Amino acid sequence: MQLFDFNGGVTPEYHKEASTQSPIAVSPAPSRNGLKNFLVIPLHQSIGGTPRPLVSAGDRVLKGQRIGAADGDMSSAVHASTSGQVVAVEMRRMPHPSGLSALCVVIEADGRDEWIARQPFDYHQHTAAETRDYLRDAGVVGLGGAVFPTHLKISPGKGGKLDTLIINGAECEPFITCDDLLMRERAEAIIQGVVILRDLLAAGRALIGIEDNKPQALAAMTAAVQAGGHQDMAVVAVPTRYPAGGAKQLIRVLTGIEVPHGKRSTDYGVQCFNVGTAYAIHEAINLGQPLISRIVTVAGNVAAPRNYAALIGTPLHTLLANSQPLPDTDRLIMGGPMMGITLPGDEVPVVKATNCILVGSPRLFPPPPPEMPCIRCGECAKACPADLQPFELYWFSRAKIFGKAQEYHLFDCIECGCCAYVCPSHIPLVDYYRFAKSEIWANESEKAAADQAREQYEFRQLREAREAQEKAARLAARTAAGRAAATNALAMAPVTAPAATSAAASAVTSAATPVTEPAQTPSPQAALIAAALERARAQQVQPANTTNLTPEQQAEIAAIEARRAQIRTQAHPHLPPDD
């Protein structure tokens, strides 16, 4: 098969051997030795809305029971990972660098690991929409790291069918081996998931891309495809070069198609799913098991690197106990060394996005040497898989020339880290891009908020003006009517009451007309609008109320900003390489 190439990329040391020596282990065994095991299951584990809790403290839950219902279609359900009692629904620290908290369901495991009634879902007997709803309620999301709800990706492109379904088993980040082990040990189940995806997407063919540094996974997957007799599937060894596992890069390598930033890949006849996601689909559809566990690599500065089938919600200290972090451990990273995030502590739980817990040490990841000025050597541009000019983006981001940064396609950056990896000046380039992106988002949302406020203000001004006019009109009418009635009573005393009423009515009409008339002619109202606009404009250029703040207020604003940034990162996925 003809393979294509993508520009750039790097070949760091892979460090994948250590964690692939032993098979996948189960972690943790619920309630061993009479010790209490708690699972902390965050409700918000995917892109999209936060599921609303379906349980409260004191409830008994079964393994696989839905505890969080998807909030609309752009969301995904969450489930109890084992049976036990809900002890709290409360804010707990998230596996996120900010260390901020989010709503979690805390379950005390009863050790019985009692399942709900599991029913396979025959998708042949259901409509596509029903199947999508089923997967949403089964909590299936992309397990490559981006945790995008899978049901939203299961719709064929134009013409109701897809040319090529791409299954991502590249796993290009150093240290991470969860997909490798999953493919080695559960290839047939993955292929069953691929069959489901192929059927749902009406895909012409399925290509399973695996980096050629995983010969055992390649062999196992090839054997599974052959055993299933799938003529329309092919397992393809792709050259090992980070970030070959980036969805866009893998699509390019396998099909030659470049999916631009911000476009749906189905519009280009391709769709890409991670092997772990295919496995989760198989479990959900064929076994009736929602997504309650995933394979997690524990690697780096540990005595026994290994892969674990970990329940969602397992606190990291429980997960790490078996692998024994070494004494000089200085950090925990979720993900790999190129794109992973530093975690705030070891009590945060395993979530659906946790493909790897990389235990760091100063020896493994020494602090970066001092940052030097950029010498425009262009190494970053050579390494950039998006064909950007990272040093230009760095310059614009640093100088806060955000318009230029966007012009130079800042948002095409996938934050893979190749540029910073090769930079001889040790510039944390990706940090500058993250900063620029968040500033631009903040500006945009501020602008949107200001626009909305201005519109509301203008509307209120108009309404008040209209109400004032109407009030004046009513007042004038009443006065005129009263005066007319009085005059009539004086002039024609014997006239009956109905006549007086009609006269008053005509007086109302005649009195009201001069008042209401101007409302239909443009001049005064236009003046009002102009004045309102003027006021709004004046208000806009007035200094914001964010000057001269107390430290407390500043701290509060910083917290809000951080929270906003967190929401934003979740709302704007920069698809990590292993999606």
Partner 1 sequence: MNNSPYLRQATSVQSVMLRVLFALLPGIAAYVWFFGAAIVLQIVLASLTALAAEALVLHLRGKPLAIFLTDGSALVTAWLIALSFPPLAPWWLVVLATMIAIIVAKHLYGGLGQNPFNPAMVAFALMIVAYPQFMSRWPGTDAIDFATQWQIIFGLHANQALDALTMATPLDALRTALHSTNATTVTVASALAHNPAIGLMAGRGWEWIAAGHLIGGLWLVQQRIITWHLPTAFLATLFLLAGLASTINPSEFAGPLFHLFGGGAMLAAFFIVTDPVSAATTPYGKLIFAAGVALLTWIIRSFGAYPDGIAFAVLLMNIAVPLIDMATQPRVFGHKKNGSNHHG
Q: Which of residues 93-152 bind partner 1 (CB under 8 A)?
A: 97
Choose, by CB under 8 A, the member of 72, 229, 370, 543 that binds partner 1: 370
Choose, by CB under 8 A, the member of 420, 484, 504, 508 that binds partner 1: 420
- Cα separation, 558 vs 562, in Å, equals 6
> Which pair of tokens denotes residue 468?
């004032």
Number of Cβ within a 10 Å radius of residue 212: 14
Please identify, among the stretches 49-57, 232-240, 415-423, 546-554, the one whose residues bind partner 1 according to the rule CB under 8 A: 415-423
Q: Where are the beta strands (DSSP E) in 217-313?
A: 233-238, 270-274, 293-300, 306-311
Beta bridge partners of 299: 358
> Which pair of tokens denotes residue 207?
């290509």
Choose, by CB under 8 A, the member of 93, 214, 248, 574 that binds partner 1: 248
Q: Does 458 bind partner 1 (CB under 8 A)?
A: no
Nearer to partner 1, 68 or 337 (CB): 337
To partner 1, the closest distance from the beta carbon of 14 in angstroms equals 11
**DSSP, residue by residue, 477-512:** HHHHHHHHHHHHHHH-TT--HHHHHHHHHHHHHHHH
CA 79 to chain centre: 19
To partner 1, the closest distance from the beta carbon of 288 in angstroms equals 37
What secondary structure letter does DSSP report for 315? B
Nearer to partner 1, 257 or 533 (CB): 257
Q: Does 375 bind partner 1 (CB under 8 A)?
A: yes
Phi, psi for residue 123 in degrees, rounded to 5 = -70, -15
To partner 1, the closest distance from the beta carbon of 259 in angstroms equals 6
Choose, by CB under 8 A, the member of 385, 436, 477, 577 that binds partner 1: 385
Burial of 4 (0-12, 13-18, 19+ CB in 10 A): middle
Nearer to partner 1, 199 or 561 (CB): 561
Residues in the chain: 579
Q: Does 369 bind partner 1 (CB under 8 A)?
A: yes
Number of Cβ within a 10 Å radius of residue 154: 20
Q: Does 372 bind partner 1 (CB under 8 A)?
A: yes
> Which pair of tokens denotes residue 337?
């060394």
Q: Does 387 bind partner 1 (CB under 8 A)?
A: yes
Torsion (CA) 563, 565, 571, 576 in degrees, nearest 10: -120
To partner 1, the closest distance from the beta carbon of 324 in angstroms equals 21
Q: Does 259 bind partner 1 (CB under 8 A)?
A: yes
- Cβ(30)–Cβ(37) below 8 Å: yes
- Cα separation, 45 vs 76, in Å, equals 8
State the alpha helices, DSSP H only, in 138-271: 178-185, 187-201, 215-228, 247-255
Choose, by CB under 8 A, the member of 34, 159, 327, 367 that binds partner 1: 367
Please identify, among the stretches 286-294, 369-377, 538-546, 564-572, the one whose residues bind partner 1 according to the rule CB under 8 A: 369-377
Choose, by CB under 8 A, the member of 424, 518, 522, 524 that binds partner 1: 424
Pairing of strands 52-53, 66-69: antiparallel
Q: Which of residues 48-77 bind partner 1 (CB under 8 A)?
A: none
Q: Does 181 bind partner 1 (CB under 8 A)?
A: no
- Cβ(253)–Cβ(4) below 8 Å: yes
Q: Does 262 bind partner 1 (CB under 8 A)?
A: yes
- Cβ(44)–Cβ(98) below 8 Å: no
Please identify, among the stretches 183-191, 366-374, 523-531, 537-545, the one whose residues bind partner 1 according to the rule CB under 8 A: 366-374
To partner 1, the closest distance from the beta carbon of 88 in angstroms equals 30
Phi, psi for residue 126 in degrees, rounded to 5 = -125, 160
To partner 1, the closest distance from the beta carbon of 431 in angstroms equals 5
- The secondary structure element, H or E, covering residue 555 is helix 551-571
Q: Does 261 bind partner 1 (CB under 8 A)?
A: yes
Choose, by CB under 8 A, the member of 41, 244, 281, 386 that binds partner 1: 386
Q: Does 568 bind partner 1 (CB under 8 A)?
A: no
- The secondary structure element, H or E, covering residue 408 is none
Query: What's the sign of the alpha-carbon dihedral 431, 436, 439, 440?
Result: negative
Q: Does 84 bind partner 1 (CB under 8 A)?
A: no
Q: Which of residues 517-546 bind partner 1 (CB under 8 A)?
A: none
To partner 1, the closest distance from the beta carbon of 144 in angstroms equals 16
- The secondary structure element, H or E, covering residue 235 is strand 233-238
Q: Does 7 bind partner 1 (CB under 8 A)?
A: yes
Choose, by CB under 8 A, the member of 42, 139, 145, 174 that binds partner 1: 174
Choose, by CB under 8 A, the member of 360, 477, 484, 508 that binds partner 1: 360
- Encoded one letter per residue, x for contact with partner 1 by CB under 8 A and - for no contact, window 207-246 reads ----------------------------------------
Q: Which of residues 297-336 bind partner 1 (CB under 8 A)?
A: 331, 333, 335
Query: What's the sign of the alpha-carbon dihedral 104, 105, 108, 110?
Result: negative
- Cα separation, 349 vs 121, in Å, equals 29
- The secondary structure element, H or E, covering residue 346 is none
To partner 1, the closest distance from the beta carbon of 153 in angstroms equals 18
Count residues near partner 1 (CB under 8 A).
Answer: 63
What secondary structure letter does DSSP report for 370? P
Query: What's the sign of the alpha-carbon dihedral 334, 132, 247, 5?
Result: positive
- Cα separation, 193 vs 68, in Å, equals 24
Choose, by CB under 8 A, the member of 250, 285, 430, 575 that binds partner 1: 430
Q: Does 12 bind partner 1 (CB under 8 A)?
A: yes
Residue ranges binding partner 1 (CB under 8 A): 6-7, 10, 12, 97, 174, 248, 252, 258-263, 331, 333, 335, 337-342, 360, 365, 367-370, 372-379, 381-382, 385-389, 391-392, 407-409, 412, 415, 417, 420-426, 428, 430-431, 434
